[in-house]
Structure 1
Amino acid sequence: MTGRLIFLFGIAVSLPLSAGAASPQPSAEGPPTTLTQALAEAYANNATLQEQRASLRATDEGVPTAMSGWRPTVTLSGSFGHSSSTVKQNTQQLVGVFPTPIYQKGKSRLVETGNPETAQITLSQPIYSGGRVIDETRQAKNLVYAARAQLLATEQAVFLNVVNAYVTVITDTQVLALDRNNQTVLERQLQATRDQFNVGEITLTSVAQAQASLAQAVEQVAVAQGNLQIARENFRQLVGDYPGNLTPPQPLALPVSSKDAAAQAALANNPNVVAAKFAEAASRDAVDVAFSALLPVISLQASGFTQSDPTGAGTSTRGGSVLGQVTVPLYQGGAEYSAIRAARAKEQQSFATVIDQQRTVFAQATQSWEALVASRAAIVSTNAEIKANAIALDGTEREEIVGTRTTLDVLNAQQLLLNSQVQQVQNIATLVNNSYTIASAIGRLTVTDLGLPVNQYDDLQYYRAVKYAGFGTGETADSDAGIAPNGTLMHVNQSQVAP
């Protein structure tokens, strides 16, 4: 027996193997890639993040939409045309009176033409709308704050998925290497068994047992290869490119040192909780908006007009008016009261959502912490199990030589060693994943917290550009916010966005 150390996720684990066994080697293709690089590429290329950024910009537009209620509306209307009218009339003229009146009959024809032109400009200035504009503006701002928090939540979810995909690729690569190593060992075991059978030392039963174990190993290799390909495709979906020779990551250093601290941090900082609280505030504003429909509306309207040739050539009329208008709703069919009741129900729904999110992140933080502690303990115990299984395999092989153990005993011992090695790979993967899951639960898995080498998306830049905008279709605002016409970040290599 010879012993050696292999590094699973950067953690040294003793794996004594049979002499001559092949060393597990990663089979991933492509240039080396670190977790930081994978997260940075996902930050720039992930379609889910791009979708959420665009959704935030659309939500930002709710603020200028609401504030437009303070501004006047100005309309200009006009008309131009040609008019023509013809009047035909039968006539009779008295031309004599003796001995009887004599009339001369005839026909007359009157043609009137004109080119009437009209122009009118109207300005309407809201003065008071029952508080609706104030309430709608406050609601729109709270929705923006909620959308910003939701963008952070999406960012964290994408990063956590990338970490899981990254770790899964490494896990499946190392499991495949272990399975291939096991296949090589069993192939040599089968050959040795056949040699023993040929000289009459063992029976055909032992050969069949070795063949069955090798067939199972071949199956495990095929399954491991399939799992690795699935993991690579999932990685590409999230990051935008296939993984290279991935560098094993370490568990993330956490800013909390206990389960209770993690739970309290999650309640205070988790972006899903923050988003739910702002959404609840927006729902309260929606109740005020609904109540404003019961209050009077005051506006000022000014207009001016000009008409030329309205009745005939050479005539014109000009005029204007300034009116104050007060509208007091008395009864509107009950729709406004229904809207109030609906808004109150949605406020209650939003309150329940806050409680649900708080309970969810509390459970996520505490459960992930317990899983982190358990995975650390599992690594220690499984490492001891690997050492014990390696010693047991060595002893079983020696006992087989002297005839006190069978070929089946050796094969079983080899399988136990493989199982413990695979379990250790999975334990370390669980440790890494749980550390990042806790960071996500406490709101510390953002691009800023991770210190990624990227140009960060400024979720305030677009808002500042459009908050008071009274004109513009968005091209300048997008450019100021670093957004390309297709919605991606301008510094992104566009060839990496689409497959």
Structure 2
Amino acid sequence: MLRTFTGRLSKMAALAASVAVLATAPRPAVADNLADALIGAYNSSGLLEQNRALLRAADEDVAIALSALRPIVNWTARIQSDYTKSGNGLTSTSSSPDTFFTGLELNQLIYDGGAARLGKQAAQETVLSTRQSLVQVEQQILLRAVTAYLSVLLQEEAVGIRQNNVRLLGEELRASEDRFEVGEVTRTDVALSQSRLANARANLADANGALTTAHAEYINAVGRHPGRTAGQPSMPGLPRSEEDAVALALRNHPALLSAQHQVRALELGIEQQRANLGPNVRFQADLGLTDDFGGSNFNESATARMIYSQPLYAGGRLAATVRRIMAQRDASRANLLNVQRDVTQDVSDAYVRYQTADASLTASDERVRAAQVAFDGIREEATLGARTTLDVLTAEQDLLDAQLARVSARTERSLAAYQLLASQGLLTAERLGLAVQIYDPTLYYNMVKDAPAAISKRSRDLDRVLEALGKK
């Protein structure tokens, strides 16, 4: 019986050692790493595709605004039937001639106080704003992928620790039963071991459930099932101080840049609306043929005219339109101030979060070391009868809590580091050097900014681009 008891203690020692090194054990070299998760999220995100399409729509608004500066040519064909009746009280005559007209109509803006030009510039500012919004969406997608990866990693490590805890407590229960048989402990000690083991199994079931939930979020964020994670990612380059981080964010954050372009677009919109209150000069020309059905008469005509117009009164609509866009401009300026403050606060929060997580990890490492020493000592003292089963179980639980806290602290530090990158506007595929085909927002814009005609080489190039995007 004593040999059996000694064998149980040897197994317990081996299991305790495995618990101690679990959190630092190397992962398989072929496992998925954080870069794999980020690449998957970037390549499969429907939200990114949605916002890229919205950007292309904003690009087309520039072409539409440009078209107002160009001539408009329409071809018209018209069949007309007129009925007339005339008389003098004694006799009357009636006729219903049918006529056919076909011709070309040209309309060209000559002068509008710069309204059309300002409309194009406002559309260009909207494009720049939308580009920055796309960058912000990209940051959100990548940060979600970072969070999903670290969550899976955290839950995997937690499951591993709890599995070892269940095995260790199972050995401790068997050791308690052996010691009870030889009269070294009471039935209470056995019951304590049974209770701790049951609780450990319940906690393991909870950890497995949390891991399943983390897998589901990973699939949603990355677009595929996770493989075995490769462990904690390396720390990205971080700013030397909070002040440096804030200064960089105020120059670079996409949300702030987007808000700045929104303000500029509305300021140009105000100038455009005011220009619309001034005179407008257009050139119009018609060239056509009129033919009488059933007769031999026809008429070829060509006309040209300059039309000058000046808004005088429109029921108050003109002034109200200017005031409305001025209010929108003021709201956009207020939003810019809010965004600037939010960016500053987000950087400060992320910086403090990282510093706190780093300090917590240092303390957790020390806690694990001390808890391991205490557990080893109490376990040895228990074999000599100087400690009770409850003391051993309590020390083992303290070690378990310390190991779980260290895993959480390590994950929190990694997440805080990448959140700090995002708060500065640096969490993008290009800045991270991901092995993906970076989406170029200028490619489509450069093809449509000159508003190419439907029948042109540029239009055919656009057709090929749309086909490649799978949108046509």
Residue by residue, what CA displacement relative to the aligned partner does 1:238-278 show, whole Å, maximum 9, x if unpaired?
Answer: 21111112212434332521111011111111111111111
Q: Give the distance between the partners of 1:386 and 1:296, measured in 2 at CA.
A: 80
Residue by residue, what CA displacement relative to the aligned partner does 1:302-356 show, whole Å, maximum 9, x if unpaired?
Answer: 112211125x511111212111111111111111222212111111111111111
Query: Residue in 1 aligned with 2:197?
Result: 214
Aligned-partner SS, 2:450: coil
> Which amino acid counterpart does residue 62 of structure 2 have in structure 1?
V
2:333 paired with 1:334: no
Match of 1:344 among 301, 310, 326: 326
2:273 paired with 1:274: no
Aligned-partner SS, 1:70: coil
Q: Give the distance between the partners of 1:430 and 1:481, measured in 2 at CA.
A: 42
2:16 paired with 1:18: yes
Query: Residue in 1 aligned with 2:469?
Result: 484
Identity among equivalent positions (%) equals 29
State whether residues 60 and 448 of structure 2, in contact with CA within 8 Å, keep that contact through their aligned partners in structure 1. yes
State whether residues 19 and 161 of structure 2, in contact with CA within 8 Å, keep that contact through their aligned partners in structure 1. no
Q: CA deviation at 1:128?
A: 1.7
Task: Considering fraction of residues, name the structure with more helix.
Answer: 2
Q: CA deviation at 1:167?
A: 1.1
Q: What's the TM-score, normalizing by structure 2? A: 0.88
Residue by residue, what CA displacement relative to the aligned partner does 1:142-199 show, whole Å, maximum 9, x if unpaired?
Answer: 1111111111111111111111111111111011100111111111111111222233
Aligned-partner SS, 1:413: helix
2:62 paired with 1:63: yes
> Which amino acid counterpart does residue 416 of structure 1 have in structure 2?
D
State whether residues 249 and 432 of structure 1, in contact with CA within 8 Å, keep that contact through their aligned partners in structure 2. yes
State whether residues 30 and 245 of structure 1, in contact with CA within 8 Å, keep that contact through their aligned partners in structure 2. no
Q: Give the distance between the partners of 1:427 and 1:346, measured in 2 at CA.
A: 45
Q: CA deviation at 1:82?
A: 9.3
Matches within 5 A, 1:238-249: 238-249=221-232
> Which amino acid counterpart does residue 427 of structure 2 have in structure 1?
L
Cα 1:384/1:111, change in 2 over 3 Å: closer
> Which amino acid counterpart does residue 354 of structure 1 have in structure 2?
L
Query: Residue in 2 aligned with 1:395?
Result: 377
Match of 1:141 among 124, 149, 152: 124
Q: Give the distance between the partners of 2:314 and 2:403, measured in 1 at CA.
A: 74
Query: Residue in 2 aligned with 1:445?
Result: 427
Matches within 5 A, 1:341-490: 341-472=323-454, 476-477=461-462, 479-480=464-465, 483-486=468-471
Aligned-partner SS, 2:76: strand
Q: Give the distance between the partners of 2:14 and 2:260, measured in 1 at CA.
A: 55
Residue by residue, what CA displacement relative to the aligned partner does 1:74-123 show, whole Å, maximum 9, x if unpaired?
Answer: 222213589999xxxxxxxxxxxxxxxxxxxxxxxx99998742213211
Aligned-partner SS, 1:201: coil
Matches within 5 A, 1:70-109: 70-80=69-79
Q: Give the distance between the partners of 1:279 and 1:302, measured in 2 at CA.
A: 39
Q: Give the distance between the partners of 2:83 and 2:233, measured in 1 at CA.
A: 90
Residue by residue, what CA displacement relative to the aligned partner does 1:383-437 show, whole Å, maximum 9, x if unpaired?
Answer: 1111111111122222323333322221111111111101111111111111111
Q: Give the distance between the partners of 1:359 and 1:284, measured in 2 at CA.
A: 22
Q: CA RMSD in A?
A: 3.0
Q: Give the distance between the partners of 1:150 and 1:385, measured in 2 at CA.
A: 44
Q: Give the distance between the partners of 1:357 and 1:483, measured in 2 at CA.
A: 36
> May I ask how many residue pairs the two structures share in their alignment?
450
Q: CA deviation at 1:475?
A: 7.3
State whether residues 232 and 411 of structure 2, in contact with CA within 8 Å, keep that contact through their aligned partners in structure 1. no
Cα 1:478/1:393, change in 2 over 3 Å: farther
Q: Give the distance between the partners of 1:332 and 1:263, measured in 2 at CA.
A: 49
Once the two structures are overlaid, the 10-residue window that deviates more, 289-298 or 337-346, is 289-298
Cα 1:378/1:238, change in 2 over 3 Å: same
Residue by residue, what CA displacement relative to the aligned partner does 1:444-480 show, whole Å, maximum 9, x if unpaired?
Answer: 2222211111221111000001011243497742644
Aligned-partner SS, 2:240: coil
Once the two structures are overlaid, the 10-residue window that deviates more, 208-217 or 242-251, is 242-251
Query: Residue in 1 aligned with 2:134?
Result: 151
Cα 1:17/1:267, change in 2 over 3 Å: farther
Residue by residue, what CA displacement relative to the aligned partner does 1:212-243 show, whole Å, maximum 9, x if unpaired?
Answer: 21111111111111111111111111211111
Query: Residue in 1 aligned with 2:87?
Result: none
Cα 1:483/1:139, change in 2 over 3 Å: farther
Q: CA deviation at 1:481?
A: 7.6
Cα 1:482/1:76, change in 2 over 3 Å: closer
Aligned-partner SS, 1:329: coil
Q: CA deviation at 1:375?
A: 1.7
Q: Give the distance between the partners of 1:35 and 1:126, measured in 2 at CA.
A: 56
Q: Give the distance between the partners of 2:29 and 2:70, measured in 1 at CA.
A: 58
Q: Give the distance between the partners of 1:478 and 1:56, measured in 2 at CA.
A: 17
Query: Residue in 2 aligned with 1:97?
Result: none
Query: Residue in 1 aligned with 2:219?
Result: 236
State whether residues 147 and 275 of structure 1, in contact with CA within 8 Å, keep that contact through their aligned partners in structure 2. yes
Aligned-partner SS, 1:306: strand
Match of 2:275 among 282, 292, 296: 292
Aligned-partner SS, 2:441: coil
> Which amino acid counterpart does residue 173 of structure 1 have in structure 2?
E
Cα 1:19/1:293, change in 2 over 3 Å: closer
Cα 1:235/1:19, change in 2 over 3 Å: closer
Q: Give the distance between the partners of 1:252 and 1:481, measured in 2 at CA.
A: 39
Aligned-partner SS, 2:149: helix
Q: Give the distance between the partners of 1:343 and 1:84, measured in 2 at CA.
A: 50
> Which amino acid counterpart does residue 343 of structure 1 have in structure 2?
I
Q: What 5-or-longer segments of structure 1 have no aligned partner? A: 1-14, 86-109, 488-499
> Which amino acid counterpart does residue 285 of structure 2 have in structure 1?
A
Q: Which has the larger radius of gyration?
A: 1
Q: Give the distance between the partners of 1:244 and 1:486, measured in 2 at CA.
A: 32
Q: Give the distance between the partners of 1:376 and 1:145, measured in 2 at CA.
A: 38
